[in-house]
Structure 1
Amino acid sequence: MISRSKALDLINEDTLHERAIARAGSSDFGTDDYREGLGVLLDSASRNSRLEKIAPRMSSLVVDVLAGRLASQAGWNARPETLALPVTAPLVITGLPRSGTTLLHFLMSLDPQFQWTPRWVGEAPLVRPARDQWEQHPQYKAVHERLEALFEANPGLRAAHEMGAGLADECITVMVQSFISNMFISMLPLPEYRQWFFETDETPSYVRYKDNLRLMGADTPNKTWLLKNPSHTIGMEPLLTTFPDARVVVLHRHPVETIASGASLTYRGADFWEKHEVGPIRLDVYSRAVKRMAAARERHPSRCLDVYYRDMVRDPLGTVRRIYAHYGLDLNAATETAMQHWLDQNPQGKHGKHSYSSGEFGISDSDVRAAFAEYISEYSLDASVGS
């Protein structure tokens, strides 16, 4: 393990910026509004008793985010006209983590009427090239090799959450550029940052994200965006105000299952977590999320379509048809055939079974039920446990 002084050097703000500049080959980070969140993040880490374990991961993560920020700014500087492009009526998938959002996102990404962000583009945004050019791009190759190494070093991670350089990725990969992000809460045990995050308006993250969508989709500005992120449950209000014509699909699964599953995924992601702390953190974050989502939906009625995980698993194509019908989208035979083929090739458990329970992670099922009582009742989720 490294020394504390070495750990502090690793998360020095100036050093992190210098490393990002060296990687990206540019030095324009744009406005300074991200520095508050970055400062809170680094200060929270510096106070942590596990700094020596956390610092290498945080250092790498922050440099990645800063380099992504530089890439976006370079793209806007090169093509400033992109900032005036439309982002019209995106279709947004959300719901508590582990509620089927990834399955639905992957399925709908097969429909050519949508554009979406592949992981390799989201990490360092650029104008997305044509699909047949992806594998030859150095950035694609780097992301692919890193993800494969991650899966090899973390057996069972792919079974818990599939990722790929060319697969449809979550919004959070890009939104993290503002350093107001649930990603840092999910990846790092930093209570001071978590408290600051919940007291801070996420609107700057959503505004910058919209500009990044304009950049990434600059060559197809009139094509509908397909977006997905469980953290939109926390940021539902800024999502609906930043994208006033967004069409939102909210998936629902019993929190007894989603919280334990998410805790397992977090714990698998790094060796600095104490197993007993992961559950209470997930419980805190996402019990707040459903309350925020409910309040935002009251202020913006009729903006969301509710979909149940149990229906998604039992009849994926039927669920897709219902979504398309609700939002007036066309689902042609070729796309439906492609979706069925994908389902046949990717059965649940393809990469192994993801096993978990609340008790492993410092909470009980009754704790989860109490924290989510109103949410469980509103969506009649008790009938869906085990579905």
Structure 2
Amino acid sequence: MTVDTQSNPLPHLAGFSERGGKWYAEDVSLASLAEQYGTPLYIYSKRAITEAYQAYDRACVDAAGKRRARIHFAMKSNSNLAVLDCLRRLGAGFDLVSGGELARALAIGAEPSSLVFAGVGKSATEITAALKAGVKCINVESIPELHQINRIASQQGCRAPISLRVNPDVDAQTHPYISTGLKDNKFGIAYHEVLKTYREAALLSHIDVVGIDCHIGSQITSIAPYLDAVDKVLDLVVHLKKEGVVIHHLDLGGGLGISYGAETPPDITEFTNALLNHVAKRGFAHLDVVLEPGRSLVGNAGVLLTRVEYLKPGAEKNFCIVDAAMTELMRPALYEAYHAIVPIQTKELSHQTYDVVGPVCESGDWLGRDRALAIAEGDYLAILSAGAYGFVMSSNYNTRPRPAEIMVDGDKAYVIRDRENVSDLFAGERTLP
């Protein structure tokens, strides 16, 4: 969690910049997009997504040109089809956590062999769909789930490729809501149960053990927790080899953080090199390594535009009431997360300190606290670093239509999701006769 304060520096956004007092997405002004498509409005930069992917990919190929790791984008961070297709074209596979995400990956033509199906509560329907599609691997999160997968594979007359998700009890030093590798988290199989569970899996009739998996959390800004988790997982691989259980791939998950302003996460390429070099030094360079970044690929590749509706002075606080809300960006209300907020056009006005809040009828509906802004009613603001866990967590609370999404590529802007209409929201509802 980042302290919400106006004094944080602005994050580096590869696809967004301020020129002459105006903000741009690549070569398109944010003001022109707001006027043309309305607000609230999500905007993504193809250039920023591409540069972040290439930063990972540089470390995934060694000096001899041999690929030593593959990137599987964590779709839960941003599942728009255009975003997914951009990453597919760059060479990414995908990390899925639902049947819906499986359907999205297949819809953009992703190879089933590039899909890893994770998630703590996969239904029988989802497991069946994954097996029929022929995914690379299903990451198993509990012993009952392992037996469920075996039963379904038997019914389907196939063998299920599986990896066990290890809970290494490593503190990722992140917000408790996005920590996933501690023993009191719901995720994965307890470290002391892993060897026994692999033995059990190896004996099941329709299970193929292919890998081992670990994911310790999200918005992690230090490499140390990763290395601790890797060491614990590789120790298990050593024990499994002695027992005749062969591991073919090592899935290290994702979770690398971004800068929302104050954080200083590791450089993507340096981080990936350190991780892969550590695996090699331990003697496991032969393993197929899977990395599953999400936020670090798209977080700073997106912004949310919003319009100032009212400036409301108060006895204790001044409020900047905007047309975006917790329904568009849940992170501040859910995690007390910080997002930098900037006017998209500089004006000669005096700065005042505001809480930036939305129109939803909840006191928790705020987007930024104590922000010094030089603004007037009708101005547009950009909420930065909104490309991950933004639209995907949006809702229709208060019967609010979800916003449009735009992808900018150079001097062109493409509508990649239409804005919802109010009538769309209750089209499937019925009154009683």
Query: Under TM normalisation by the shorter chain, which class is it?
Result: under 0.3
Q: TM-score, normalising length from structure 1? A: 0.25
Q: TM-score, normalising length from structure 2? A: 0.23
The structure whose Rg is larger is: 2
Which structure: greater helix fraction? Answer: 1
Which structure: greater strand fraction? Answer: 2
